[in-house]
Amino acid sequence: MSDNIGTPEAVLQELLTVKKVVVTAHARPDGDALGSALALRRMLDQNGIAARIAGLEPYPVRFRFLIGHDKNEMCGDQWLETADLLLVLDCGAFDRASSNILEAERHLRVINIDHHGSNTEFGAVNWINPSASSTGEMIWKLAKCAGWTIDAVTATALWTALVTDTGRFGFENTTPEVMQIGANLLECGVHPEVIERNVYQSIELKEIRLSERALSRLALHEGGRVALVALTHDDFLELGCTAENAQDIVNLPRQIAGVEVAVFLYELPEHGKVKVSLRTIAPFHAAEFCAIFGGGGHARAAGCSIEGDLNDALNAVIPTLHERWFSSSR
């Protein structure tokens, strides 16, 4: 895949022909998915294109501060049935969208806007830019290309997208351009302390307990270069948690000195499947590894699902990691 398939101009050309659209992103949305979708929906509505959000509920608790500025963000089935266009953001493959969106592909023209290099190019128009830090960065560029005004509410959503996907501007995808975009959003009225407090300093007690449970299974492999944590389906049930509460757990083992590959495995609510989240440092390419199991993502952050229980996943992931990356000295 090339670094840039499609353009913001191509997306705008599509938008000029429609009056009513649906905006969505991948299921169980993170800060980039939700921030990008909310920002785009708001700007479309402000510029004569009726837009609603679909398929992103329930919103993660930490991002609910972004909701409520508009009473009509959500759309029902009737809106989905009568819309002209479906904009899918931050979603590497269409089957990773929420299940209630999948049928819409049958009658809606799909515009695919994403920064995952593993994107399957499922749209009628595919604007894919793996060199972008986030889909939020792409939506900012779309706004600038269109000449849309970015108000403080929209800027807050876009800042959330940027700050979460760049690790608070600490990951290697933090470029000079990202910082310039951030500066522009600050000029638009963003208050970083609000995002910091809501996203990173409002963790529920049950999430702390869930992290504690995962760390109780911490295991080091490859002489400490690989750190792995895990959760079972019963862990979620006992602590009253869902997959939403586990989004940041993969970041715990990556903080250990000497760890180059962090792995988080957890059994999904539907029995018979385990989610794998991977975080790496160079030269280990997380998306290429996850592609072995049908997943994808970014060079340093990716994920996949494996059929079976936790032991099945462990028996698949650990030997494959060794074979692919550690079987000979590096």
Residue 128 tokens, joined:
């894919």
For the segment(s) 8-200, the CATH number from 3.90.1640.10, 3.30.70.3270, 3.40.50.2000, 3.90.950.10 is 3.90.1640.10
pLDDT of residue 268: 81
Strand partners, 301: 279
Give the residue-averaged pLDDT of 97-119.
Answer: 88
Q: Is the pLDDT of residue 3 over 50?
A: no
Give me the DSSP letters along 118-152.
Answer: T----SSEEEE-TTSS-HHHHHHHHHHHHT----H
pLDDT digits (tens, 9 = 90+) for 116-170: 999 999 999 999 999 999 999 999 999 999 999 999 999 999 999 999 999 999 9
pLDDT digits (tens, 9 = 90+) for 226-273: 999 999 999 999 999 998 899 899 999 999 999 999 999 999 876 689
The three-point CA angle 140-142-145 to 5° equals 110
205-326 CATH fold: Diaminopimelate Epimerase; Chain A, domain 1 (3.10.310)
Strand runs labelled E in 248-293:
261-267, 273-280
Domain map of the chain by residue range? 8-200, 205-326
Q: What is the pTM of this model?
A: 0.90
